[in-house]
Amino acid sequence: MWQLASLSAITASMHTVFSTECTSYFDWQSVGVFYSHQEVLQPGYITRLMACDHPAGYAGANIGPTHVHPNYGNPKNNHVHDRYTPYNKPGALQHWLDSTIDEPDRTEPPPEYVLVVDPDTIFRKPIDCHRELGVRPGVVASSPRPYLEGVDNGMAAQFVSPEAVGRIDKVCHTGSNPRLQTPGV
């Protein structure tokens, strides 16, 4: 009985998200993520964060739970005004959090943990952010991304407060694929 209650608590507090664009290439990857998430019984909800400036009538829009946001890789949609597709991951996450967490008609509970995966992820077993990765308030877990250390192109200023920009270098080495706990959301 304890395991059932424990799994129920994890399910209510986890939300997996992944960032894509509105192309058939990403649609096929999305099908793989949605399918493997379901097959391994990954706890919690899943949402595709899809960068798409013209989503009306897009054929792949409904292949799974999807949150559509502006394509931040397009210079007209980012504050740096350059073309760089990787802006979509942090932009998508911020847009999703800002747009959905406080919705008055929200049907699912706000997540305690957000698991951010890449669109080519295939789940082989369920992931428990707290027990397996040691995530807790104020602590994220991530794959190493040493090539991002010292990067200073203005991107961070789009997504964090001016006071936090100076602290980015201390966490940048933890990577661009964080699994984070969102206390108080």
Q: State in Å, rounded, how far the first CA of the chain is from the last one.
A: 29
Mean pLDDT of 68-84: 78
Examine the pLDDT at 155 and tell me if it is beyond 80: no
Tell me the residue ranges of DSSP E strands in 65-122.
66-69, 113-117
Judge contact between 73 and 155, C-beta under 8 A.
no
| Residues 119/39, Cβ–Cβ less than 8 Å | no
The answer to whether residue 109 scores a pLDDT higher than 60 is yes
Torsion 69-70-72-73 (CA) sign: positive
Residues 6+ apart with CB under 8 A from 9: none
- What is the pLDDT, as a whole number, of residue 8? 44
Q: What is the pLDDT of residue 5?
A: 35
| Reported confidence tier of residue 181, pLDDT bands at 50, 70, 90 | very low
Average pLDDT, the chain: 77
Per-domain residue ranges of the chain: 2-128
Residue 19 or residue 131, greater confidence: 19
Percent of the chain with pLDDT over 90: 31
Alpha-carbon gap, residue 33 to 51, rounded angstroms:
17
Identity (one letter) of the amino acid at 4?
L
pLDDT of residue 177: 45
Would you call 152 exposed, middle or buried from its count of C-beta atoms within 10 A (0-12, 13-18, 19+)? exposed
- CA 19 – CA 8 distance, rounded (Å): 26
pLDDT at 126: 93
Between residues 13 and 41, the one the model is more confident about: 41
At residue 27, does pLDDT exceed 80? yes
pTM value surpassing 0.85? no
For range 131-158, the mean pLDDT: 71
- Flag whether pLDDT at 106 surpasses 90: no
